[in-house]
Amino acid sequence: MSPTTRREFLGRAAALAAGAVVGGLAAPSAAASAPDPSPVSGTSRLVSVAAKDMLRDGAYAPEAVHRAFAAGLTELTGKSTLPEAWASFVKPEDVVGIKINAIGAPKISSSFASIRETIAGLKSAGVRDENIIVWDRTDREVARAGLSLNKSGPGVRVRGTSTESEAIVPWVEGYDRSAYVSFEDGTLKKFRELVKRDFTRTGSHRDIFNSVAWLWMLARQGNEKAKVYGPELQRLYMDYSDREGIKKIADEVAGMFDGLTIPDEDKSFFSTIVTRDITKLVNIGVLKHNEDSGVTWAAKNIALGVTTNKVRFHIDYCAKAIPAILTHPCLRDKMVLHIGEAAKISVVSVAGAQIATDNRIFFSRDPVAMDRIGLDILEDKREALGLESIRAISTHVAACAAAGLGTDDPAKIDWRKLSV
């Protein structure tokens, strides 16, 4: 996004609050597409739409994105027009959450163009402006993506779940104390058991770091002994070259907190946006690599975007946490559409540090099918750059399939490849 376009977008926030689409641009007209072929029995449909002009000056071009949505969603649903396609996902009385991905902003995040198209589509299906919520984890992340917050004024809502960071604590304001998943991974209780097994010397870097997530939690909560380790834990979280520092910390704190109990340390609470506010969920994911999960696109954008206390999830590359989160009724019963941006792809773990380009946007009701194909795309992009394979660590994709969230079998993915 060029500086001029970003300034224009920010300057049009009032138009968003008044009910215009994101960015203040007029809603594009609906476009018809070719008739939908008969569905293939027992498969999950995935539609990719390529456009040579998908990117312009490094940003998604609104005209190309509109053509992609028109072709992709009519192909996905078998409807004749774009409003009819949107009406197959939502009803006028629904409250619809648009889950974006802002974590890599401003370098890479869900595009303004796709957000605009999604809002326009929901409105074409009769959903009221005030019943559309564009959101991500925190207000700060949403604003960093270039969106102007609108929590209660007229028009489309734009906000984070919370004003506070949630990654290393069980609960902050904006999360629902009555809805959570529970794992002993990363808890002080579990760490005490591991120490008895000489874990601090035999465990891997990944095992040890994620098993002391409780220490980072205590530091955040103000525990004086733990606060000493806070800055070093932050550094080690981002410094992928240091594989010994965490072992030193684990050895030092073994036995240091005997007798201490941390309330709710095993719990990860859900955003009130998904538990109380919305009836349907549309997901706009960005295809990225992550050292702690391999591929991240549809499934992870939701699962780790709606929960607290989640650094510890990466101990097994999120294979346990992501399916457990997505099968919760507050999500499984509400997810209706996954939009996967792949024209800009983050190919190394630090989001946006190295970007590969493509020209496609993907659409599916099945997040697992989307992630399975996304893994292949990411592998190809990384191989072309001389980077190592991440297929072996992308274990959450198969785990989600095993949990019944979709298919990861290429033979059962009805992939429709379009160009506009």
Provide mean pLDDT across the span 304-332. 97
**Triad 398, 402, 408: Cα angle to 5°:** 45
Place 41 in a pLDDT band, splitting at 50, 70 and 90. low
Place 201 in a pLDDT band, splitting at 50, 70 and 90. confident
Integer CA distances (angstroms), 226 to 260, 268, 300, 314, in order = 12, 21, 30, 21
Looking at residue 169, its pLDDT comes to: 98
Looking at residue 12, its pLDDT comes to: 34
pLDDT in tens, 4-39: 333 233 333 333 333 333 332 233 333 333 333 334
pLDDT in tens, 236-245: 988 878 888 9
Please tell me the least confidently modeled range out of 131-145, 182-196, 228-242, 253-267: 228-242
Higher pLDDT, 243 or 52: 52
CA distance 338 to 366: 7
CA distance 400 to 10: 38
CA distance 335 to 399: 18
CA distance 112 to 230: 35
Residues 338/363, Cβ–Cβ less than 8 Å:
yes
pLDDT in tens, 380-406: 999 999 999 999 999 999 999 999 999
CA distance 24 to 29: 15
Provide mean pLDDT across the span 228-236. 95
Could you give phi then psi for residue 30, rounded to 5 degrees? -70, 150
CA distance 208 to 199: 8
Residues 338/366, Cβ–Cβ less than 8 Å:
yes
Provide mean pLDDT across the span 155-183. 98
Residues 44/366, Cβ–Cβ less than 8 Å:
yes
DSSP 287-333: EEEETTTEEESHHHHHHTTSBSS-GGGGGGTTTTHHHHHHTSHHHHT
Provide mean pLDDT across the span 273-288. 98
Provide mean pLDDT across the span 282-293. 96
What torsion do the CA atoms of 192, 241, 316, 298 make, to the nearest 10 degrees?
Answer: 140
Integer CA distances (angstroms), 148 to 5, 9, 229, 285, in order = 14, 9, 35, 20
Looking at residue 239, its pLDDT comes to: 84
